Amino acid sequence: MLKFFSSIDRAVASVLNVLVIITSTIVTGVIFFMVIARYILEWSFIGADEVALVSAIWLYMIGAIVASRRAEHLVVDFLPQFITSPMLLRLHQRLIALIMVATTGFFIYLVWNLFGFAIKRPQETAGLGIPEIIPLSAIALASIGGFSYAVRDLITGRACYNSTKEGEQ
């Protein structure tokens, strides 16, 4: 059973990594192309910023799922560093995971409400007519991803922070 879940996790990780690479390439490429187009080709690409923004929202949200999967969300790990008893530490990790399950559940509820509204009143971007539901789907995916990994942390008792990481500022 554990082997099965591990192989699913690896497959999910590969898909997430590919998505991060694709979206990062689009964001960088499109913005860089806008500069080149303006100064060298003297050409204005209408809607380029819309493509970059839609890709960026996917990049942000997939990045957030990758961080949840690798337990690398920004954490103030001051308290856990001072807990020496293994039993207390396990208890602490379960408590944090439980809070995360509740908050990610709330995030899903928010997304559910948003989708109800977005489906009733569909909107598109002004230039290329990209449906707003496309970037919103990324937020939905992030809410489900966050919830899934919070449940994983609750069941396995895994720490929701990585003590060896080099945090970001």
Q: Pattern 66-95, binding to other proteins, x per CB under 8 A?
A: xx--x-xxxxxxxxx-----------x--x
Count of residues that bind other proteins according to CB under 8 A: 67
List the structure tokens of 44: 């204005």
Cα–Cα distance measured from residue 164 to residue 58, given in angstroms and rounded to the nearest whole number: 27
- 108: contact with other proteins by CB under 8 A: no
CA distance 103 to 91: 18
| 141 contacts 64 by C-beta, under 8 angstroms | no
| Interaction mask 8-47, other proteins, x per CB under 8 A | ---------x--xx-xxx-xx--xx-xx---x--------
What span, in angstroms and rounded, lies between the C-alpha atoms of 4 and 149? 16
DSSP state letter for 158? -
Nearer to other proteins, 99 or 155 (CB): 99
CB of 94 to other proteins, least distance (A): 12
Check residue 149 for interaction with other proteins (CB under 8 A): no
